[in-house]
Amino acid sequence: MSADTVGFALLLLGVVLLVGKVIRIKARWTQHLFLPSSIIAGFLALLLGPEVLGALATTAGVDGLAAGGVFSEEILEVWSILPGLLISVVFATLFLGHRIPNPVRAARLTGPQLSVGVTLASGQYVLGLLLAVLVLAPVFGISPMAGALIEIGFEGGHGTAAGMAPVMDELGFPEGGDLALGIATIGLVSGIVIGVAAINWAVRTGRTVVITGQVKQSVEEQKGLFRKDEQYPAAMMTTRPASVEPLALHFAVVALAILLGWLVLSGLQQLEQLLWADTVELLAFVPLFPLAMLGGVAVQVFLDRTGNTQLVDERMMVRIQGLALDLLIVSALATISVTAIADNLGPFLILVGAGVLFNVLVLLLLIPRTIPQYWFERGIGDFGQSMGVTATGLILMRIVDPDGKSPAFEAFGYKQLLFEPFFGGGLITATAIPLIYQFGPWPLLSAMAVLFVVSALTGLLYFGRQKWDVDAERNQPATEEGHASE
């Protein structure tokens, strides 16, 4: 493909995203569902592409639209490659701009939060692998690797699903990537819908601490816009543009993080080839993005240790991450194979239904007994993340705690530092599919079952019985309302 084709594909992707935003502003039903513009744009591109419009044109005998719908095959080829590239940008920026805390202190502050997060993630593996072994493989003949799709699609989201698609394709499970993207889409939408419904239920029944009345949002909030009188800085200038544009500097830092991850991955793969590749080959199938995340951690640690933390702004990194994630979601949804999902509709519905039910049960039954204070404000963030992406959890926390009066955002942020390197696109997510391919489902199922039981019991029997005063920890006077009722 030519450079002009790549450039035009990116321009067209931007236009589709803009149309998605216009639809979000104009269509009330999209506002009620809190649908991100990228999801709307992705579905629009899917409808106009070969899987829907192209298929209808083929049936009707309209040759001009039969190949790629309104998009050419070259455009679709570029879009199909983008998710695997952009996911490394998303993960490289996760910790850039954040001061890396002491892991022991972070674990102490967010022990209940980490227990909930690990229980959700490991439980999704246990549930998925049990379904794969007992139902999906024997009844539908699908690969046991399908057992990892709930965690990849729900906990990992569209980025992780797109990033793992080439791995599944290489290991003989080509439909896995499309199924994971479908699961991620259902998870994100249902996560927001169920999350908002749960918030309204919690407010009505007195389970929230911060909000005690009806949840209200302005017209601008529903449209995803800011009022004219609102001030929300997008980022901070960390260098003078006369020397280097701050955005360009942040891009360079992200590039360095990704390259460090690539060097580490390449070195590990070379080591595997020299030592044990003849017996078992695992690292050859590990994608780049989890190592890009560790590259970002290494860069941030270096900046902290050398006293240059101020050069990288967290909000600027969030903007870069958001751009990459929006383009990733649109391009991934635009190139998803509806045929692959239709051919595996039974396993798809079973995995989605079981995953949603499991997450809801954890929210309603486990979290109130694991997080002693502000359990709903803190737990709804983990629920949202376990259904879609981190942004989903943040959206739900912002609705239930708009002014950040609870420790929800602080606890969630520290928990991410310990959680993200392993689940939701981390090392465990990246190696799950190769592990199942090499050793079958049982070793991973056993390990995740042990982790699930340990994390759940730790939350119930230890953290859930603690009487920590989180308001006092934040140097605020404790109040009776600071203790959430179950």
- Average pLDDT (343-351) is 92
476 pLDDT more than 50: no
Q: How far apart are alpha carbons 286 and 106 in whole angstroms?
A: 28
The C-alpha atoms of residue 235 and residue 247 are separated, in whole angstroms, by 9
Q: Which of 126-140, 197-211, 225-239 has the highest mean pLDDT?
A: 126-140
pLDDT band at 66 (very low <50, low <70, confident <90, very high): low
Q: How many helices (H) and strands (E) does the chain have?
A: 22, 0
Q: Cα separations (Å) of 218 from 29, 204, 223, 225, 337?
A: 15, 20, 9, 10, 37
pTM to 2 decimals? Answer: 0.76
Q: How confident is the model at residue 64 (pLDDT cuts 50, 70, 90)?
A: low
| Nearest 10 degrees: Cα torsion 264, 270, 276, 278 | 140
Per-residue confidence (pLDDT) for residue 262, from 0 to 100:
94
- 285: number of Cβ within 10 Å: 20
Return the axis-axis angle of helices 157-170 and 314-334, rounded to nearest 10°: 50
What is the tens place of the pLDDT at every residue in 303-335? 999 999 899 998 899 899 889 888 988 888 888
Burial, 105: exposed, middle or buried (Cβ in 10 Å; 0-12, 13-18, 19+)? exposed
The region that residue 194 occupies, defined by phi over 0 for left and psi between -120 and 50 for alpha, beta otherwise, is alpha
10 Å Cβ neighbour count for 26?
Answer: 10
| Res 483: pLDDT | 39
Tell me the C-alpha distance between 386 and 124, whole Å. Answer: 9
Q: Over the stretch 101-149, which tens digit does the pLDDT of each residue have?
A: 656 555 566 789 899 999 999 999 999 999 999 999 999 999 999 999 9
**Banded model confidence at residue 469, pLDDT cuts 50, 70, 90:** low
DSSP 8-state class, residue 5: H
Three-class DSSP category at 418: helix
Beta carbons within 8 Å of 20's beta carbon, 6+ residues apart: 37, 38, 39, 40, 41, 42, 44, 330
Structure tokens at 262: 């690539």
The mean pLDDT value for 335-359 works out to: 90
Q: Is the pLDDT of residue 86 over 50?
A: yes
pLDDT value of residue 302: 94
pLDDT at 347 over 80: yes
Of the pLDDT bands very low, low, confident and very high (cuts 50, 70, 90), residue 85 is confident
The alpha carbon dihedral of 144, 140, 162, 96 has a sign of negative
- Least trusted range by pLDDT, from 1-15, 153-167, 295-309, 356-370: 153-167
Mean pLDDT of the chain: 84
Contact, 195 vs 360, CB < 8 A?
no
Tell me the H-state helices in 243-372: 246-275, 289-305, 314-334, 338-343, 345-361
Stronger pLDDT, 211 or 257, i.e. the higher one: 257
| Mean pLDDT of the region 7-25 | 94
**pLDDT 10s digits, 245-274:** 999 999 999 999 999 999 998 998 899 888
Task: For residue 473, name the pLDDT band (cuts at 50, 70, 90).
Answer: very low
Per-residue pLDDT at 481 exceeds 50: no
User: Is the Cβ–Cβ distance between 337 and 48 less than 8 Å?
Assistant: no
Write the DSSP assignment of 247-265 as a string of letters. Answer: HHHHHHHHHHHHHHHHHHH
| CA-CA-CA-CA dihedral for 234, 154, 31, 193, to nearest 10 | -130
